[in-house]
A and B are shown apart, each in its own frame.
Chain A
Amino acid sequence: MSILKRREISHVIYILTAVIILLAEYTNLGALTSSKLMIAVTMIVNFTIVLGFYNLVYRHVNIITRQQKPDMYYSLVLIITFVVNLACMYLWEPGFQWILAKVFMPVMIAITLGGFTLITMLYRGARVRDWVSLVIMVSAIIVALSKSAIGMLIPPLYITGDWLLAVPNMSARRAITILAGLGTIILFIRGLLGLERSYMGETSGA
């Protein structure tokens, strides 16, 4: 049993899996195995999601049983909502539809506080103090106005905004995209060498 507990086994599985996928992509060898591995991942992910839910519910039940005020009242709200909605989904479809339309939709949309934090951020921090912040603000304002409702009504504004997106912005994004692609490959090489072991709950090796 002790040989099964060796960390190297996980590392070998990681390398083998990655090699099979890439071999199938570039040489068509092992295409069936590659396809089955990807489907296996979709199944494993489901179990990890269920595991995550278990951990979350366990944590909140813990808070309630330890009577940690005032968090226990909020945890109670969460557990009750969880149980009631789950029961409705399995046992009473009209109840679930009612909760979906009248509770889930408004609360999920409203909880994001869309954009108000941007107001505070701009009010406290948007100061044009040097050429960098001036360029940022000018390009931000031009792009924002050119892509809003008045953009097409003022052709020079629209053309400038379009040019800013299509040339300077695009070129910077292209460079970042190329470097991000290279970074993914480097991450893969680090994984092959055993320097990246976060999937085993460890921090990076070097």
Chain B
Amino acid sequence: MTGAEIEAIFYAIFICMCWSWLYKGDNPLYRISQNITLGLAFSIGFKASLDTIITKASPIMTGDIYALIYTVLGLMTLLRFSRSTLEISYWPLAIVAGVGTAIGVKGSVGPMILTQTIGAKWYGTDMLSSINNIMIWVSVTSLIIYFIFTVKRDAFGGTVGKVASIGFFFMVIAFGASVGSGFLGSFTVATGLAVYLFTYPGYFITAIAAIVIIWDVYRESKK
């Protein structure tokens, strides 16, 4: 057997093990494949993390003070194993949280707020695009009003509620578009894998799996 054929057999075996969930739910074959996945993912992740720590810490040998600071901060996270030093272990996490929040804010102001409000125009190059642009502005404004719960829906004689319902209509369409996009993306993986089950040499494994399932259905029906 060639290397590609051996690989195809392994693909078929693991596909049958994982897809056994579709027939029996949580079963030993699925649990085994799940734990193999986790074990492999953890080992790759552990090695890469360890290698990165060594790479970033090695400049200490050449007198890089920043590398020393980074390593000390990283080692401080390990102080969480002792109750007496638990609070000190939160200092590097406070740095991570502070940096994370600040860069989140930094990125929100420009791309998420200003560019979305400044860039959009009321008019277009023709009648249709002008109507589209006005529709976009109406729906954006009404949807923002929909999500502001500080003002009650029946305020200003019910106007707030009516405007919010326009936004809700557009949100429903957006949700439908999301669902439709979900349809498109859901089966690509399964399509790519199903080929291994129905072509040589995977169909031998599929045949064995089919016999086992038929026998199990027959056995269940006799109970």
Judged by CB atoms under 8 Å, the answer to whether A and B touch is yes
Knowing A107-B14, A174-B140, A185-B108, the reply to whether A113 touches B21 (Cβ < 8 A) is yes
Interface assignment of A153: CB less than 8 Å from any CB of chain B: no
- Are B73 and A43 touching (Cβ within 8 A)? yes
Interface residues on B, range: 35 or more
Which residue of the partner chain, among B39, B69, B175, B176, contacts A82 with CB atoms under 8 Å?
B39
The reply on B210 being an interface residue by CB < 8 A is: no
Closest chain-B Cβ to A118's Cβ sits at a distance in Å of: 5
A1 surroundings in chain B (CB, below 8 A): 84
Contacts of A169 in B (CB 8 A): 173-174, 177-178
- Whether the Cβ atoms of B91 and A10 lie closer than 8 Å is yes
Q: Provide the residues of chain A in CB contact with B19, threshold 8 Å.
A: 110, 113
Partner of B18, one of A104, A111, A173: A111
B135 interface contact, C-beta 8 A? yes
- Interchain CB contact under 8 A, B37 and A111: yes
**A residues within 8 A CB of B117?**
178
The answer to whether B14 and A136 touch across the interface, beta carbons within 8 angstroms, is no
The answer to whether A53 and B174 touch across the interface, beta carbons within 8 angstroms, is no
Nearest A residue (CB) for B46: A53
In the complex, A193 has a CB within 8 A of chain B: no
Most buried by A among B74, B176, B184: B176
- Measured between beta carbons, the chain A residues less than 8 angstroms from B77 are 44, 47-48, 51
User: Is A29 an interface residue, CB under 8 A from the partner?
Assistant: no
* CB <8 Å contact, B102 and A188: yes
CB-CB < 8 A to B183: which residues of A? Answer: 118, 140, 144
* Residue A65 is within 8 A (CB to CB) of chain B in the complex: no
Given A10-B87, A135-B173, is A178 in contact with B103 using a C-beta cutoff of 8 Å? no
Which residue in A16, A77, A86, A105 is a CB contact (below 8 Å) of B47? A86
- Chain B 154-186, CB within 8 Å of chain A: the 1/0 string? 000000000000010111111111111111101
B204 proximal to A (CB < 8 A): no
Contact with B along A136-164 (1 / 0, CB 8 A): 11111111100110000000000000011
Instruction: List residues of chain A with CB within 8 A of the CB of B7.
Output: 101-102
Are B34 and A135 interface neighbours, CB within 8 A? no
**In whole angstroms, how far apart are the Cα atoms of A187 and B176 in the complex?**
29
Tell me if A127 is interfacial: C-beta within 8 Å of chain B: no
8 Å CB interface, B32-53 against A: 32-47, 49-50, 52-53
B211 adjacent to chain A (CB < 8 Å): no
Main secondary structure of the interface of A (DSSP, over half): helix
| Interchain CB contact under 8 A, A107 and B43 | no
Asked if A171 contacts B74 (CB within 8 A), the reply is no
Count of interface residues, chain A, beta-carbon cutoff 8 Å? 112
Residue on A nearest B39 in the bound complex, by CB:
A81
Cβ of A111 and Cβ of B33 under 8 Å apart?
Answer: yes
- Residues of B close to A174: CB separation below 8 A: 116, 120, 136, 140
- The answer for the CA separation of A25 and B103 in the assembled complex, in Å, is 9
Q: Tell me whether B94 and A40 are in contact (CB under 8 A).
A: no
Does chain B have a CB within 8 A of A39?
A: yes
CB distance from B12 to the nearest CB of A (A): 8
B-chain residues with CB within 8 Å of residue A206 when the two chains form the complex: none
Q: Are A39 and B36 in contact (CB under 8 A)?
A: no
Residues of chain B with a CB closer than 8 A to A18's CB? 98-99, 101-102, 105
Q: Do A4 and B22 contact each other (CB < 8 Å), given the known contacts A108-B41, A112-B189, A188-B104? A: no
With a CB–CB cut-off of 8 A, which chain B residues contact A201? 90
- Complex interface: chain A residues within 8 A of B10 (CB): 102-103, 106
Q: Which A residues contact B (CB, under 8 angstroms)?
A: 1, 4-7, 9-11, 13-22, 25, 36-51, 53, 56-57, 70, 74-75, 77-83, 85-86, 89-90, 99, 101-116, 118, 132, 135-144, 147-148, 163-182, 184-185, 187-188, 191, 198-201
Beyond known contacts A22-B105, A167-B136: 6 more, CB 8 A cutoff: A103-B40, A140-B177, A168-B174, A169-B174, A185-B108, A199-B90
